Amino acid sequence: MKNKPALSGGEPVREDFLIFGSPRIEQDEIAEVVDSLESGWLSTGPKVEKFEEAFKRYIGCKYAVALNSCTAGLHLSMIAAGIKPGDEVITTPMTFAATANSIIHVGARPVFADVELPSMNIDPAKIAEKITSKTKAIMPVHFAGRPCNMDSILDLSRKYNLLIIEDAAHAIEASYHGRKVGTIGDLTAFSFYVTKNIVMGEGGIVTTNNQDYADKIKIFGLHGLSKDAWKRYSDEGFKHYQVIFPGYKYNLMDMQAGIGLRQLEKVERYSRIRQSIWNRYNEAFKGLPLSTPADPEPNTRHAMHLYTVLLNLEDLRVDRDAIQQALFKENIGTGIHFVALNLHPFYVDNYGYKKGDFPNAEFISERTISLPFSAKLNQKDVNDVILAVKKVLRYYGK
């Protein structure tokens, strides 16, 4: 019974369930939330401003504007950059829906370009094939924390006069050829969702070296009120504001920013923990019917946000979903990153995408599974993941 999967009546590897992507929260983050509650300043306030300054220093950009999500950051980046109805924005189908949806929110059309293997990042050659007179921007997604081939994407942007708006939800620590992600494109949006490398529960930020873009995003993200309107209730004295744009409710709260300040202080320490887990997984999974993530490309830094393997389905008796369910019964939580967007009903029905359009993205879609991978994991957690993966894949191997 020891080697028999729990799904088939065996004993599970763990007694308690290992939640996928559970964040590491320590006492100093809790203290920041309590401090905000006691101060009475819960919404956008001085801690948001402090976090923007700290993140700007970490990335090395000129401007950083905090918002309530990466999705909001992508949306406002396109508005600030002048993307409008009828325009086209090229992006990858191997991403979360928020990437494409943010394009749709400004009235533009998301145009998908297939990804490369084994990087799983958008293929610059496929981007070039999709450029038309309507194309206004490229939105690369640094999948799992791996920087895209930005030299080739920059070449395309210069050749065709296209904006680069980067989705760096996975890529806080990433760098490419000596440049931090967040300083390369025209605008870059990061995420602080509960599973990300810096956690706020919800949250995002946009970095740019363009002051006009930064000013617009700050205004657009708080109802279109004049810049620094959040200070109107501070001890500096009440200030009248003006509405200069029909804006959005996208502002970050001080309670979130306080958590982010403490998390940012630990980002490199947590990165080293994930690197250690990454190495353990790579070594442990040798000889199993799966492909581990490709090594980082030369002169780049992989942010190592996700540890995503591809199952060798030809060597298994079941499909990916059955493997995921078997791991679930072993009390191991997993993720799927991602089912290609061209396979989802909305994009099929509204844009005519279909199965077969993006072979590499679809190959990944059928085989991908993300394993628990966060700084919160202890040695037993990692051992349990390894034991469960070996147990399940060996049982279902041909």
pLDDT at 4: 87
Q: How far apart are CA 278 and CA 374, in angstroms?
A: 10
pLDDT at 260: 98
Q: What tens-digit pLDDT sequence spans the chain (398 residues)?
A: 568 889 888 999 999 999 999 999 999 999 999 999 999 888 888 999 999 999 999 999 999 999 999 999 999 999 999 999 999 999 999 999 999 999 999 999 999 999 999 999 999 999 999 999 999 999 999 999 999 999 999 999 999 999 999 999 999 999 999 999 999 999 999 999 999 999 999 999 999 999 999 999 999 999 988 766 556 555 565 567 788 899 999 999 999 999 999 999 999 999 999 999 999 999 999 999 999 999 999 999 999 999 999 999 999 999 999 999 999 999 999 999 999 999 999 999 999 999 999 999 999 999 999 999 999 999 999 999 999 999 999 999 99
Q: How far apart are CA 397 and CA 317, in angstroms?
A: 6
Per-residue model confidence as pLDDT tens digits over 71-106: 999 999 999 999 999 999 999 999 999 999 999 999
pLDDT at 239: 67
Q: How far apart are CA 398 and CA 12, in angstroms?
A: 22
Catalytic residue among 47, 56, 136, 196: 196
Runs of H (alpha helix) within 172-266? 211-220, 254-265
* Contact status, residue 70 vs residue 95, Cβ threshold 8 Å: no
Q: How far apart are CA 398 and CA 395, in angstroms?
A: 9
pLDDT at 202: 97
Q: What is the pTM of this model?
A: 0.96
Q: Parallel, antiparallel, or unpaired for β 63-67 and 204-208?
A: antiparallel
Instruction: For residue 354, indicate whether it is catalytic.
Output: no
pLDDT at 224: 87
Query: What is the 3-class SS of 282-314, one letter each residue?
Result: HHHCCCCCEECCCCCCCCEECCCCCEEEEECHH
In the chain, where the domains are located: 6-24+267-396, 27-265
* Contact status, residue 185 vs residue 165, Cβ threshold 8 Å: yes
CATH of domain 27-265: 3.40.640.10
Q: Specify the amino acid at residue 389.
A: V
pLDDT at 240: 74
- Report the Cα 18 to chain-centroid distance in Å: 21
Sign of CA dihedral 328, 334, 337, 341: positive
Which of 3.90.1150.10, 3.10.20.30, 3.40.50.300, 3.40.980.10 would CATH assign to domain 6-24+267-396? 3.90.1150.10
